[in-house]
Amino acid sequence: MKDQVVSNLAWRHRKAAAFRYFCIGVTMFAVAILVVLIYQVTSLGMPWLDMQFLESFPSRFPEKAGIKSALVGTLWLISLTALISIPVGVLAAVYLEEYAPPNRLTEFINLNIANLAGVPSIVYGILGLAIFVRFFALERSVISGALTMSLLILPVIIISSREAIKAVPGSLRQAAFAVGATRWQVVRSHVLPAALPGVITGVILAISRAIGETAPLIMIGALTYVAFVPEGPMDEFTALPIQIFNWTSRPQEEFHELASAGIIVLLAVLLAMNAIAVYIRYRGSKKSS
């Protein structure tokens, strides 16, 4: 009897160990693919990555081609998208979590937000083309792109912000109400500060997605050859993913290498944004503890 128990234990330990190695293996596989990708991109793109590349406009000649208009276009696009989508998304989440009565209308809104998060991005492109470009006659401007991108990432921001707000314990709200606070004072002083790290994480993920999106921008006609930088929200523009897409679709090998250089710039922009998010979270957690 005793032996049986012991052998059984050994078998269980083997199973536990096997699962552990399996998990390590899967993780390594994912990391390895990422390393290969980054290696390939940097080995191809690095020789092209210099100030000349960053400061030049697109060109037919690979050695003269640069990414200036696309980089500035992306920065414009993302800044405007953030300005529009963050306040709207976070406040919508606050409304739905803290104020909305649990009735049919709220349920209907919830259902729709969940569905919208799953709609393919090209559909948002069509919507943006119909509403912003045509109906509001904003043309192929940065603001059209930013509004379309905002629509695209709003469901993501709303859902993740709601999760962060929902995670704030009810006992904290009750404590604040019990000393005679109004709903706004509770939200402002307790719920939002406690939810902030989660909200920021969701916002950054959403914005990062917007940086990489190409389909909706092609749909609303962000130009692929733009030899100027936008100077206002009504100017035409192009963006990094579009420029990269354009270069990869050309036959010459040099342009493929330029695309790799463009990808490095895109990754750098993404990493910079994530770094900002980490910093804000770090500061937030230091303040509350």
Which residue lies nearer to other proteins by CB, 101 or 251?
A: 101
Structure tokens at 224: 């692929």
Q: How far apart are CA 289 and CA 232, in angstroms?
A: 42
Task: Please tell me whether residue 190 binds other proteins under the rule CB under 8 A.
Answer: yes
Q: How far apart are CA 59 and CA 10, in angstroms?
A: 67
Q: How far apart are CA 207 and CA 164, in angstroms?
A: 17
Q: How many CA atoms lie within 13 A of 134 on its CB side?
A: 9
Among the listed residues 59, 112, 182, 252, the single contact to other proteins using CB under 8 A: 182
Q: How far apart are CA 112 and CA 159, in angstroms?
A: 11
Q: How many CA atoms lie within 13 A of 195 on its CB side?
A: 31
State in angstroms the smallest separation of the CB of 165 from other proteins: 15
Task: Please tell me whether residue 179 binds other proteins under the rule CB under 8 A.
Answer: yes
Helix, strand, coil shares of the chain, percent, nearest 5, are: 80, 0, 20
The 208-247 site mask, x for binding other proteins (CB under 8 A), equals: ----------------------------------------
Task: Please tell me whether residue 102 binds other proteins under the rule CB under 8 A.
Answer: yes
Among the listed residues 16, 51, 137, 171, the single contact to other proteins using CB under 8 A: 171
Nearest Cα residue to 194 out of 261, 97, 106: 97
Task: Please tell me whether residue 177 binds other proteins under the rule CB under 8 A.
Answer: yes
Among the listed residues 67, 154, 176, 191, the single contact to other proteins using CB under 8 A: 176
* Stretch touching other proteins by CB under 8 A, among 36-44, 68-76, 172-180, 227-235: 172-180
Q: How far apart are CA 76 and CA 233, in angstroms?
A: 8
State in angstroms the smallest separation of the CB of 159 from other proteins: 22
If one counts every other C-beta atom within 10 angstroms of the C-beta of residue 16, the result is 9
Among the listed residues 17, 36, 167, 172, the single contact to other proteins using CB under 8 A: 172
Integer angstrom CA distances of residue 177 from 142, 174, 185, 196:
44, 5, 9, 20
* Stretch touching other proteins by CB under 8 A, among 46-54, 116-124, 173-181, 195-203: 173-181
Among the listed residues 1, 2, 4, 180, the single contact to other proteins using CB under 8 A: 180
State in angstroms the smallest separation of the CB of 177 from other proteins: 6
* Stretch touching other proteins by CB under 8 A, among 68-76, 152-160, 183-191, 198-206: 183-191
Evaluate whether 263 touches 244 at the Cβ level (below 8 Å).
yes
User: Measured between alpha carbons, how far apart are the two ends of the chain, in Å?
Assistant: 54
State in angstroms the smallest separation of the CB of 202 from other proteins: 20
Which residue lies nearer to other proteins by CB, 2 or 104?
A: 104
Beta strands in 119-204 (DSSP E): none
Residue with tokens 């709207």: 88
Nearest Cα residue to 265 out of 31, 85, 51: 51
Task: Please tell me whether residue 178 binds other proteins under the rule CB under 8 A.
Answer: yes
Task: Please tell me whether residue 189 binds other proteins under the rule CB under 8 A.
Answer: yes
Residues in contact with other proteins by CB under 8 A are: 101-102, 169, 171-182, 185, 189-190, 194, 288-289
